[in-house]
Amino acid sequence: MRKVIQSRLGSPEVLETVEAEIPVPGPTEVLVAVKAAGVNPVDWKVRNGGGLGDPPFSVGWDVSGVVTEVGPGVTRFKPGDEVFGMPRFPLEAAAYADYVTAPSRHLALKPSAMSHAQAAGLSLAGLTGWQALVATAGLEAGQRVLIPAAAGGVGHLAVQIAKSRGAYVIGTASAAKHDFVRGLGADEVIDYQSVEVGSQVSDVDILLATVAGQIRELASTLVAGGLVVALNGTDVEAVHWAAQNGLRAAFMLVEPDRCDLEILADLAGNGRLTVHVDTVFPLSEAANAHRLGEQGRTIGKIILVP
């Protein structure tokens, strides 16, 4: 099979496609023929700065495909099942490949209404939005939520998740993306390029800090005792600062969770959650996918297709 690896840290050029043995599923694992793999910011952060130890290693976690083999003890799936998930995160999953093994409970059945490309873009970003807003923040109907970068991978799914819970959603995006964000259900969209967001928004119950370095700038939008949920490890110091200034604050790292995946699948299957695919690249062009992603201009998700 083909697999994308890197033998050193660095720019997208370090990604190379090599031939490798098809992995064998161990106990409680399944082998998945990859139909699509999602590309996320964590991929190029790990590629450039480590996080999986010393190279060689392979980045990539989001996956959608077909089960071809089940390991001992697996009862949830059978060969032929279409599945999606985010196996092993934050450990190595090597999803940029023709085949990948995964613990069976890190996957869920793919909604029939979703393409593999859409499903591959749902797991990491969707789980991040769900676990931040619902599991961590306890989002309730009527609460006001501020979501920066609302057209991005996490942002565009978080808007839809928040609306599915009855929240009032305020998103930020460049002017060209306002129609897209409103189409997701956002109640207000602020052009962060032309105005200071903090001067335009107030009485926010939950700030989803999707963009690193914005917590101090946007803290003034929160009500007293409002909650900041940070998604980026570089914001940990700002989380402490927020807590010291009367705000509730938490840093959250997304986790594989079959129950949460099944909730997302149900929302998608019922038409309440749509994954927007910005660009699809062949597996051999993983470096170009990273180059595009690092520009920070995409709407929704970037996908690799073996």
Domains annotated on the chain, with CATH:
2-122+275-305 (3.90.180.10), 124-251 (3.40.50.720)
Q: Where are the alpha helices (DSSP H) in the chain?
A: 41-49, 116-120, 123-130, 153-164, 178-183, 197-200, 215-218, 236-244, 258-269, 286-294
pLDDT on residue 50 = 75
Mean pLDDT of 189-207: 95
E strand map for the chain: 2-6, 15-19, 29-39, 63-70, 82-85, 99-103, 107-109, 144-147, 168-173, 188-191, 204-209, 222-230, 248-251, 277-282, 301-305
Tens digit of pLDDT for each residue in 221-236?
999 989 999 999 889 9
Mean pLDDT, the chain, rounded, equals 97
Q: Tens digit of pLDDT for each residue in 27-37?
A: 999 999 999 99
Structure tokens at 102: 């995964």
Q: Does pLDDT of 300 surpass 80?
A: yes
Provide mean pLDDT across the span 246-260: 95
Which residue shows structure tokens 């009527």? 142
Considering the chain, what percentage of its residues have pLDDT values greater than 90? 96
Whose CA is closest to 249, among 259, 239, 238?
A: 239
Encode pLDDT of 66-122 as tens digits. 999 999 999 999 999 999 999 999 999 999 999 999 999 999 999 999 999 999 999
Contact 223, 204 (CB under 8 A): yes
pLDDT at 287: 98
Beta-carbon contacts of residue 232 (< 8 Å; ≥ 6 apart): 209, 211, 212
Q: Under a CB-based contact definition with an 8 Å cutoff, are residues 256 and 86 in contact?
A: yes
Q: What is the pLDDT of residue 270?
A: 94
* Choice among 67-76, 123-132, 240-249 with the minimum mean pLDDT: 240-249
CA angle 232, 32, 41 (to 5 degrees): 20
pLDDT band of residue 51 (cuts 50, 70, 90) is confident
Q: Which residue has the tokens 């840093």?
A: 251
What predicted TM-score, i.e. pTM, was given to this entire model?
A: 0.96
Number of Cβ within 10 Å of residue 256's Cβ equals 23
- The model's confidence at residue 246, banded by pLDDT at 50, 70 and 90, is confident
pLDDT mean over 189-201:
94
Q: What is the pLDDT of residue 159?
A: 98
Q: Give 284's contacts (C-beta < 8 A, 6+ positions apart).
A: 2, 17
